[in-house]
Amino acid sequence: MTGINGKIITIMLLIELFVAISSQDTITSYCSNCICMALSGCSASSKCTGTADACGPYHITKAYWTDAGKPTLNNQSPNEKTAFYNCVKDLGCATLTLDRYMQNFVKDCNNDSKIDCDDFISIHVNGPFGCNKQLPSGVEEIYEDCKNKTVLDYKRKNVH
């Protein structure tokens, strides 16, 4: 595509992507991927760290998992001792935990009149009552890089 028609289509696709990423009430795969990348490089083997035992690719704590409704892997009982660890170390179950947590605590953290991925990562990292705080610098840098790369990748795949 060249000329004015190609530019119009490119602009329309970028607007569509921006709306999908920026004005959402539910978390998208683009967003959950960038949260995962910012926290662990999306490594499922990410060890449990610290006194709060934040585990897995999203660094999820047991309290967070509980607030998300205790999703489990392979219909394991949430009351089993290993249920939390098995879930949060598995990318699929951890993503489900993230989704459910966001459904419970979604809010506009930065007061820009929209709920988007910036709000979701703030809720995830700082909690729903501290989500107006700035992200730790290393997390914020990786998150912003991922967000920008996602827009570029989408453009490359959809505009020829």
Give dist(CA 76, CA 82) in Å, integer: 9
Reported as a single tens digit per residue, the pLDDT across 39-94 is: 999 887 777 766 568 899 999 999 999 999 999 999 999 999 999 999 999 999 99
Instruction: Record the pTM.
Output: 0.77
Give dist(CA 117, CA 150) in Å, integer: 12
Domain boundaries, the chain: 3-158
Helix (H), strand (E) counts: the chain? 7, 0
Question: What residue type is 122 in one-letter code?
Answer: S
Which CATH architecture is the domain 3-158 placed in?
Orthogonal Bundle (1.10)
Does the pLDDT value for residue 1 go beyond 70?
no
Q: DSSP 3-state assignment of 49?
A: strand
Q: Provide the Cα torsion 57, 89, 100, 125; round to 10°.
A: -40
Reported as a single tens digit per residue, the pLDDT across 105-149 is: 999 999 999 999 999 999 999 999 999 999 999 999 999 999 988
Residue 92 has which token pair? Answer: 């699929």
